[in-house]
Chains A and B, each alone.
Chain A
Amino acid sequence: MRQFNIKIIFLCLALVAMNSCKEEFLEITPRGALDAQVLATADGVNSLLISSYSMLDGTASNGFGWESANSNWVYGSIRGMVANKGTDSGDQPDINPLQTFTEAATNPYLDIKWRSCYEGIARCNEALRVLAVAEENGTVSADEADSFRRQARTLRGFYHLEAWRIYGQIPYVDENTDLTAVTNQDDARGPIIADLEAGTTLPNDMGQVGRFNGTVAKFLVAKAEMQMNQNWSKAAGLLQDVIDNGTKPDGSEIGLDALYGQVFNAANRNGLEAIYTVQYSVNDGSGGWNAGWGEVLNFPYKSGASPGGCCGFFQPSFDYVNSFRTENGLPLLDNSYNDDPVKNDQGLTPDDAFTPDEGPLDPRLDWSVGRRGIPYLDWGPHTGSDWVRDQSYAGPYSPKKQVYEQSQEGSFTEVGNWTSGYTANGYRLIRYADAVLLLAECQIESNQLDAARQNINLIRARAANPDGFVKDETGKDAANYQIAEYPAGGFPFDSQDNARTALQMERKLELGMEGHRYFDLQRWEKAGAIDAVDELNRILEHERPLLPALYGPASVEPVDLLFPVPQRQIDLMEGRLQQNR
């Protein structure tokens, strides 16, 4: 009996002792993740750099949807009144105040856009920090390190520039910034330019079309100098260099595509015109996140018979469409185009008879806008109000530039998703025509009017190629297209002011719906080239009676030329951020 007891007690003690005091039992390292040391090699830094590039579309599955799309359909085009929100009144209602210039600083779109820019910056900074470790460890060659550093800095400059032109006053954050102390009261422009300039010595051939090269960096410096500092001469030099010596990042040639419509074809996304296209990929296992997530809402709304399948957003405005009216092949620079508006089917059902406008029009209209009766790529003619969600709310027009062709369904679009609107039609972040027109703008500002005219005419000549006109089923021009080049010597290149007006119109016609207009107006306002508030109010007054539910009693004030700093960020930074208004 006694022995039995002792055995039992021993057994019990053994049981307890067996797993006592095992400190290593409490050491559990995370599964399925990496730490900084593992990444401190050339390949590791490159992978961090890839994630830095991946924010170029503004979207990512860790919290950044169409609200922060870098194609800027909301901030550039809708705010610039080239388009309105589209769809119906209650869909994505946070855009409603953005398009009527009544947004509060609490608007969630503004916060998401802000965070998207700084997520891009944070990724660049992390790449630079880990790069420094790799250099210390000797696990990256000096050449590689130099290239990585320049790419990361250029990207960081790009993300800052994006934030700067939206919010005006932003914190500049690099890999050494004390994030607990940073404010938005210092001028961020200098460091932004310096970051962008770091990339100008990158080679033109980076081996991959998705990397930033020297050309891209030079263009970005020029754009930043124009936008932030109105430094026309510096920008002009860089842009001329881009045009003369630039290449795409894979080293291939750049120039104007022969046909205007070709520029927007998904298959041609890295074509001649593309100095830099944000690379979208479909069916790569990302569920659409690497495809055109930012623009997924912006397709017509005729179930099954129109591309995408959703959601009827981003409808071109009447004023924008009317600007394509020509007289002797030239645009109406006094805005009188609205006196002879392009005929549309507002208020008609698809069954009602309708004949499209027969007056003279710039052919670029029908590559930029879907409208009743005109072939919509290879999808057949746009049939009117059945292509839009609520015509009485947002008008009769549909977006067109980012849309894919019917023949591309499944190969250039994500399959098996709720919509085919996730496309591989990457956003043309920098296209050749933009560089040419920016150069023309610099030339006008430095009063080289004829040089500017010639550059603008390059663009118009391409648009005037009749092979590039939209054709109907019989092969005839789908509308009465008339476009001509500006003559030497006379109006509008007879004065700097008139030339500015011509340039401003040309950018609207050539680059409309591509996310630039609002930022163009900002820049021209600063240059004294336009009264942007008046211009926006002019369009507002034109649109309001046509779409009363959409615009209501809105008006534009000078403060509306920036978006407010997100209230959420002001709150989180405990007073270190100042509101810009």
Chain B
Amino acid sequence: MLLFFAILATSSAYAQRQISGTVTDGVTGEPLIGASVLIQGTSTGSITDVDGSFTVEASDGNVLVVSYTGYNPQELTVQSGVSTYNVELEAGLVIDEVVVTGYTAQQKKDLTGAVSTVGTDELLKIPASNPTSQLQGRVSGVTVSGDGRPGQPAKVRIRGFTSLTGANDPLYVVDGVPTQDISTLNPNDIETMTVLKDAGAASIYGSRAANGVIVVTTKSGTRAGVQVNYDMYVGVQDPGPGPDNLLNTQQYADLQWLVYQNDGTDEVHPIYGPSPAAGGASPNLPPWAANTNWWDVATRDALIMNHDLSLSGGNENAKFYAGLNYFNQEGIVIENFLKRYSARLNSEFTIANGRIKLGENFTVTGRTGNGVAGIGTEDSPITELTRAQPIIPAIVTQEIEGVSRTFVPGEFGGTGISPRLGNSGNVLADRTRDADDRGNDIRALGSAYIDVKLIEGLSFRSTFGGTYQSGYNTNWTNATYESAENIATPSYNENSYVNSDWVWTNTLTFDRDFGAHSILAVGGYEAVKYGISRSVSATRAGYFSDAFNFRTVSNGATIQAANSGFGTPTSLVSYFLRADYSFNDTYYLSGTIRRDGSSRFGPDVRYGTFPSISAGLRVSEFIGVSDFLSDLKLRGGYGTMGNQLPVSPSNQFSLFGGGTGDSFYDLGGTGTSSLQGFRPTRIGNVDTQWETQITTNIGFDAALFNSALQVSFDWYNKKSQDLLVVVPLPGVYGAAAAPSLNIGDMRNSGIDLQLDYRTRITNDLSFNATFTFTTYENEILKYAENIDFFDSTPPSTRIGAFTRNQVGRSLGEFFGYNVTGLFQSQSEVDGAPIQDGAEPGFFRYENIDGDDAITPDDRTFIGNPNPDFTYGLNLGFDFKGFDLSAFFTGSQGNDIFNYNRWWIDFWPSFQGQKSTDLLNNSWTPERTDAMTPKASNKSNFSTNTQSVSYYIEDGSFFRLRTLQLGYSLPANVIGNVGFSRARVYLQGTNLFTLTDYSGLDPDLNTGADTAFGVDLGNYPLVKQFLVGINLGF
């Protein structure tokens, strides 16, 4: 009965009349479009139209709450006899924003956990197809590194590293759908991204929260009629001059002469003629010698273009947002591109007198592109660019009698022209032949929900969502004729895959104020299944014709591979409860608990419980508010989160299997077929369980100087324990995959700081600045019983591993011999500890253990890729219709292992391109202060076969990420032609980078977390110049 009355009360109405008015910016007087005018305590209200006007049915004594994103809300009471209210809103405090957190939304001022948000305006400043790239420098506590590949997701790390395995990607929750991949989202559809950093905020996501959670909310319609927006930009990416430290053809020949001199070699060089010892005074260049700048050959000014059309609107009972996007980015490497098409429809319908909401958020994205393979390996086209000798013509211009064939004009040149040209490919040839390769995919991501208000303050919500992705790739490998190592027969691969996941969430939310007491509680149940996948791939070789139209797998003469994959999915069952209590907006207490069960673990250990507690205190209520301090809130939280990403879904099982290449054998001696065999492929462990992370977070939010400056500060300490480690088994166990065991421990601590400053300098000129500052300090506390380190090898290296992850140090530190200098004389060599290959001009290594020889025991830590801090600084000016913003990002104190130097600073590192340092600044008896070792054909322990400190460089950088100048046409001008908004802008991206790093780009995205900060032919971010238009109707 009581219940009935409560419901009745809320749905009853007293005498109502029409109230109207306008909502404007308190300073500029410009109308605010889409501001909400709500009758307090109800869902009744209105939205301002293009003139900022609203009308609403209200009764005397009702309180109208007028709010608009980015402005302080205002309340006013309807007074009898007054029907028109003109409201001026003040640009507001950041802390008054509503923030979508785990399963609920809260006002930022009420938060007790560590949460940061970034809105659509900031995100869109970076022209990229991928929202992850746009996070860089925008949010404190988040370290983002990207590269220049079109469409390539950036690497996002929240507060350092959680797992020793490198499975440190955050969980993204897009409109309630958990996923690891948001690369298909159209950035323009995103309303906000909210980063949940500590247990207080994130442990509601339990076993998937340990790496942090990024909640993505897409745009929804407004209830203010129909609004149409069109946004576009178009621009060009400038590859720039490329590496500035490579030799030209004559210099390369001169370097060969220097090597001869240094080594005393007596031979007739197949290209340059007799060496000095054999009587050759100087190298002779052959008539076919070119002077190719491979960077110029293989890069181009590349187009980038984006069009967004969105349509939004609604009325009291329905609202919708529809977006269409076309994005096309060419890579600076020729033929490389990505095109993306996406469509979104978000809608919500309110029925049953506002008691039931039905809605959906759905997006589908199609992508097609031509990728560059091998980034992060030595087959990277970027590496190839710096490996090919300049003497090789990209295109042959005169007949050349080559090693294996006669090259005629118009053909590709290559290493097959002559011996001693090395084994690099011709990038122009490779990219041209790969031009028709395509990667295609379609991905749908969406959710549908029903939200039912049961009683006042209590609502039930059920959400079903998921993703579905299907891809199709084609990959042609042409036969080659120009190289020293040719591919004799063309081959062709096609592969396809589907993967999907789904989530079903049911929650009850209780949100009610009792006087000064506020309670927000949400409890729920969730079932998830992810990693449902199938794939198929086939390759044949031997094609009668290279023609594109002939390329089907069926047309190949010989089957090379016919494979398929069947993914083992993971299911999760979860229960969770969260309660936030606040008193008088002064005292806050929040607790969450989640219990998860996962199919990845054995029956006895598959459930984990992840609780957290956090509290806040608005100190400003006690010390008083002044012009200096308008708000101060202390926050603190403690709790646990889990991580199950690093463990294989098959971890608990001992399995047999094996493919053709690892366990088949031709018992019958046919020579062309093998019989099926099986081998042990996995050793299972049923006791493996979650990784657990225990987080302590202490922070404060403050508003200073009349709220002009807002400060948000957090200190955190994350202890990761029971970390999953695949302890490498000794060889005697065989090569079956070892299980993950819970044995490692790691700690991260650091601070996140964000400052927001806005001021109005004159009536026409306003200024805002945002500064984010992120540090983390990572320490491995335990690896495995009796093992205190593991080495990590990057995807391709000719000198073994150079990363050692060791207890007591940070993840990813570089390990090797410390170069103390170069040996200057034979007597110095003789007097030094025995070092294999030592001779004057070669590296002298530090003798760490003090014995009489340089041995593996003398290796030490030679660099650390973890930055001391990363930061972002955004400066914005508004002057009348003009706006100017500059966004800087940077990283300080991180080292880079510049593996590219291995190729170009050592003569025997294959016969490819070499550096000007090796010619001009390398050791000779006269150049004794050189850093680069003697140019010599000797490859040994003292030259180029070891991981040594020579490769380490300071990777700190400070970059002007974007500079944007915009002009908004005045409302009175555009209003006449029907526009509500019209803005044009010019933008430059990556205009300058201050760094001592000698490579192309210090911002590196490649490599697992256990071996990061290594430059293996990174695809650089380059300058971009854009012009853009924003139109609203």
Contacts and interface: CB of A to CB of B under 8 A. Distances in A.
Contacts of A26: 571-573, 597-599, 606
Interface in B527-570: 527, 539-542, 556-562, 565-570
B485 A179 contact: no
B484 A301 contact: yes
Interface string A13-41: 00110011010011111111111101100
A118 B680 CA distance: 13
Contacts of A311: 423, 485
B486 interface: yes
B625 interface: no
B433 interface: no
A310 interface: yes
A279 interface: yes
A409 B488 contact: yes
A207 to B, nearest CB: 9
Nearest to A114: B731
Interface in B665-703: 665-682
A53 B419 contact: no
Contact of B265 (A36, A301, A392): A392
Given A53-B667, A122-B733, A304-B486, A90 B944 contact: yes
B666 A410 contact: no
B667 A20 contact: no
Given A119-B735, A122-B736, A279 B452 contact: no
Contact of A19 (B460, B504, B661): B504
B349 interface: no
B650 A30 contact: yes
Given A26-B597, A303-B486, A104 B679 contact: no
B910 A88 contact: yes
Contacts of A117: 731
A94 B799 CA distance: 8
A194 interface: no
Given A60-B662, A304-B486, A347-B267, A28 B674 contact: no
Contacts of A347: 266-268, 278
A392 B938 CA distance: 11
B515 interface: no
A39 B678 contact: yes
Given A50-B663, A61-B659, A572-B730, A25 B571 contact: yes
Contacts of A304: 403-405, 416, 481, 486
Interface string A109-130: 0010011011101110110000
A280 B682 CA distance: 26
Nearest to A172: B732
A50, A283, A391 pick with most chain B CB within 10 angstroms: A50
Interface residues of A, number: 132
Contacts of B597: 26
Is chain A's interface secondary structure helix, strand, loop, or mixed overall? loop
Contacts of A4: 352
Interface in B414-433: 415-416, 419-420, 423
Contact of A393 (B455, B562, B569, B937): B937
Nearest to A301: B484
Contacts of B666: 210, 279-281, 284, 290
Contacts of B654: 35-36
A386 B403 contact: yes
B787 A572 contact: yes
A309 B728 CA distance: 36
Contact of A32 (B481, B484, B565): B565
Contact of A416 (B420, B483, B491, B658): B491
Interface string B943-963: 011000000000000000000
Interface string A302-317: 1111000111000000
B462 A573 contact: no
A280 B669 CA distance: 8
A141 interface: no
Contacts of B490: 416
A106 interface: yes
B263 A549 contact: yes
Contacts of B656: 33-36, 38-39, 48, 126
Given A62-B735, A390-B420, A290 B671 contact: no
B911 A88 contact: yes
Interface stretch (A132-140, A417-425, A486-494): A417-425
Nearest to B575: A20
A386 B1007 CA distance: 38
A106 B961 CA distance: 44
A171 interface: yes
B734 A289 contact: no
Range of interface residues on chain B? 35 or more
A409 B356 CA distance: 73
B477 interface: yes
A19 to B, nearest CB: 5
Nearest to A306: B404
Nearest to A572: B730
A2 B452 contact: no
A406 to B, nearest CB: 12
Given A179-B733, A304-B403, A305-B403, A104 B855 contact: yes
Interface in A327-369: 347-350, 352
Given A349-B268, A418-B487, A108 B664 contact: no
A310 B485 contact: yes
Nearest to A281: B666
Contact of B671 (A39, A281, A409, A571): A281
B4 interface: yes
B341 interface: no
Contacts of B659: 61, 286
A30 B568 contact: yes
Nearest to B273: A349
A237 interface: no
A62 B677 CA distance: 14
Interface in B498-515: 504, 506, 508
A412 B671 CA distance: 7
Contacts of A96: 939-940, 945
Contact of A303 (B415, B454, B734): B415
Contacts of A91: 910
Interface in B224-265: 263-265
A47 B673 contact: no
A250 B670 CA distance: 13
Given A5-B454, A12-B454, A573-B730, 5 more contacts: A208-B668, A289-B660, A304-B403, A393-B937, A420-B488
24 contacts: A30-B655, A31-B567, A33-B653, A50-B678, A62-B679, A90-B944, A93-B799, A93-B940, A104-B856, A105-B856, A106-B856, A115-B735, A126-B680, A208-B668, A211-B667, A285-B559, A286-B661, A303-B404, A303-B485, A391-B267, A415-B489, A416-B491, A419-B487, A424-B672
A-B residue pairs, 9 tightest by C-beta: A416-B541, A122-B734, A304-B404, A50-B677, A289-B661, A61-B661, A89-B908, A416-B491, A51-B677
Interface of A: 1-2, 4-5, 8-9, 12, 15-16, 19-20, 22, 25-36, 38-39, 44, 47-54, 56, 60-64, 88-91, 93-94, 96-97, 102, 104-106, 108, 111, 114-115, 117-119, 121-123, 125-126, 171, 173, 177, 179, 182, 208-211, 250, 266, 269-270, 277, 279-290, 301-305, 309-311, 347-350, 352, 385-386, 388-393, 409-410, 412, 415-420, 424, 548-549, 552, 566-567, 569, 571-574
Interface of B: 3-4, 7-8, 263-268, 270, 278, 352, 356, 402-405, 415-416, 419-420, 423, 452, 454-455, 460, 462, 477, 481, 483-491, 504, 506, 508, 525, 527, 539-542, 556-562, 565-573, 597-599, 603, 606, 649-650, 653-682, 728-736, 786-787, 798-800, 836-837, 855-856, 906, 908-911, 936-941, 944-945
